[in-house]
Chains A and B, each alone.
Chain A
Amino acid sequence: MERSDVRSFYILAAFLVCAYALPFVIGVQSGTVHATERWFAYLTTVVLSGVLQGGVYAMFAVGLTLIFGVMRIINAAHGEMVMMGAYLTWVCFFYLGLNPLLSMVLTLPIAFLFGMALQKLLLHAVVGQPELTALLVTFGFGLVMIYVAELIFTTDFRTIPFAPATIQISRRIAISQNKLISFVMAVAISAGVYLFLKLSRLGKAIRATALNAEVAMVCGIDVRRIYLITTGLGVALAVAGGALVSIQFGFNPETGIVYTLQAFAIIILGGRGHYVGALIGGLMLAVLESLVSLMIPNGTAMVELAAYALMISVLLIRPGGLMGVKES
């Protein structure tokens, strides 16, 4: 590593330490921190569920980072695809009576095909264009998804009652079962995709295209096919994320934008286009969010602010994120 690179890493690390300390400082000042055993148990619960949630965030952020890494396209409709996954799971649960985890067998191939169609019809044309074109195309597409969902499902909040029981870890620490199941599934899927990218021939071709599309083309890789598969995979990951989110939180057609911005923040924190970076970023963001919501008054709004502030600060301190991705 170069010296400036090392320095910016340390500055970023120091910044993150401060970012994690800040909720505690504010908490002490506004009296939401208590030095009792009970409060520490509460803190542990919240941080633990943050970690579990982080696994899910990380998984759908990986979808965004894949698409961005390979094609330099920011998918502004990524959150809407998460939302689509939630609704697909909901339909499977209430109309087909399928278990949300089993229904992925059905919804993920659908999502993969959906992504391929999207790539074929819209995104092929915008690869290599100025960023505004891709942003507008995907944003417009996201709007269509939102309002189509409103037509079909109305704006009512939906929930899927699945595994709502809690697991008692100690006398005071308990986490809900669906969070744990989501986390395990998210880790399994992320690991599976990681191994696919690392080991399989196709995965290597995807990584080669991300590294340098022209050279990949010269080596005989069919880059357009790689783009198709990448978008299919990215959308499938978002939809899987939607399935895992839907069993934990309520959702309506407009919940997507929050997930989009969270995924942006995660891939920037981790280093855009970087797979492992996105996983680490997902965990870190979720833990920060849980600390903020626990200790800062007005927490729910502040959670959003934390994500945006983190994203902009990382861009300014170290645009390559934790992993220090270089501009190619």
Chain B
Amino acid sequence: MTRREHLRNLVLLGVVGLGLAFLPHGLSVYLRSFALFTMMYVVLALSWNIISGFTGYTSFGHVAFYGIGAYACAILVADHGWPWLATLGVGAAAAAVAAVALGYPVLRLKGPYFAIAMLGAAEGTRVVATVWDGLTHGGVGISFPSTENSMATYYAMLALMLVTIVVAYVVGHSRFGIRLNAIREDEGAAEALGIDATRYKLAAFTLSAVFPAMAGGIQAYKVLYIDPPSVFFVQITIAMALMSMLGGKGTVIGPIVGAVLLYTAQELTWVNLPTAHLIAYGLFIVVVARFMPRGLMGFAIDRGWARKGMVH
């Protein structure tokens, strides 16, 4: 991609960011929080995509990092009186440490075994959060002191989303990203070319853990209450995977498009089909995975509506 195209994309992102920055003043409380959660899912899907899309290691337990971030924020704010913005950094650091400790052994596994191990790790983290009463208050959960926070959390999430997009974009276009793709296509060949696969995988995994942790922290502060089942919810991982897949796994724009589309669709069915929305959601997962494994971007490329280069 040329320099001009990079510049164009940067300007585009700036315009979108500016638009979103002015948006909340005209919105109702409901729409503002809808926008916030949409941005959160963009962050989650993009981060998941770094390890699972670029590198090809399907993480089925990424919610663990989101939950760690949420708990870091809740514990420090509610029990120790920290300013909440500072706790996001602590959450990110905790998630990074967890990612290195977990990733170092688990990233040796391939394909379905990595996916299952991550699923087990995430469920295990949930159980630890439930059992470790002294730190997490166990199954009772943690409530925050009540505050007016809808603007602060909105801007925090917006900033986080912009940073995540820039990082994902830079990774996608750097030598680092190309090496991750090489690992995805053929790990043995990549190693034969002198790529230290273990190091690169670990770096990608850690990077993909940091942003969900911050998103989890912001989310916790937004809803002012967390408990283990809600922040270690398996379906959050599924949403990350599904959104990336819907848009186009392994691209930068794909997960963004997927997150916006899917979250909007989810909200609409929730409002309009209160009894059956979860059934509809399940069916939707099945249909997307079954008929569109390469996502909308793959669909567009196949029909010549998009160039391969544009997607990345």
Contacts and interface: CB of A to CB of B under 8 A. Distances in A.
A84 to B, nearest CB: 14
Contacts of A144: 279, 282-283, 286
Contacts of A308: 120-121, 123-124, 127
B115 A74 contact: yes
A72 B111 CA distance: 10
Q: How extensive is the interface on chain B, given as a class?
A: 35 or more
B206 to A, nearest CB: 19
Contacts of B78: none
Contacts of B276: 147, 151
Interface of B: 52, 58, 60, 105-106, 108-109, 111-113, 115-117, 119-121, 123-124, 127-128, 130-131, 234-235, 238, 241-242, 245, 249, 275-276, 278-279, 281-286, 288-290, 293
B106 A304 contact: no
Most buried by A among B119, B128, B130, B281: B119
Interface of A: 72, 74, 122, 125-126, 129-133, 135-137, 139-148, 151, 257, 261, 264-265, 268, 298, 301-302, 304-305, 307-309, 311-312, 315-316, 319
Q: Is the interface of B mostly helix, strand, loop or mixed?
A: helix
29 contacts: A74-B115, A129-B293, A130-B58, A131-B111, A132-B241, A132-B249, A135-B58, A135-B241, A136-B238, A137-B285, A137-B286, A140-B286, A140-B289, A143-B279, A143-B285, A144-B282, A147-B276, A148-B279, A261-B120, A264-B116, A268-B113, A268-B116, A305-B124, A308-B120, A308-B124, A308-B127, A311-B116, A315-B109, A315-B116
A137 B290 contact: yes
A147 B279 contact: yes
A315 B293 contact: no
Given A133-B289, A135-B60, A312 B112 contact: no
B106 A316 contact: yes
A308 B117 CA distance: 8
Contacts, number: 125
A281 to B, nearest CB: 14
B278 to A, nearest CB: 4
A198 B297 CA distance: 47
Contacts of B60: 135
Contacts of B288: 136
A132 B285 contact: no
B289 A137 contact: yes
B234 A311 contact: no
B122 to A, nearest CB: 9
Contact of B112 (A72, A143, A261): A72
Across the A-B interface, give the 10 residue pairs with the lowest CB-CB distance, nearest first: A140-B285, A143-B282, A144-B282, A136-B289, A308-B120, A140-B286, A308-B124, A147-B278, A131-B112, A305-B127
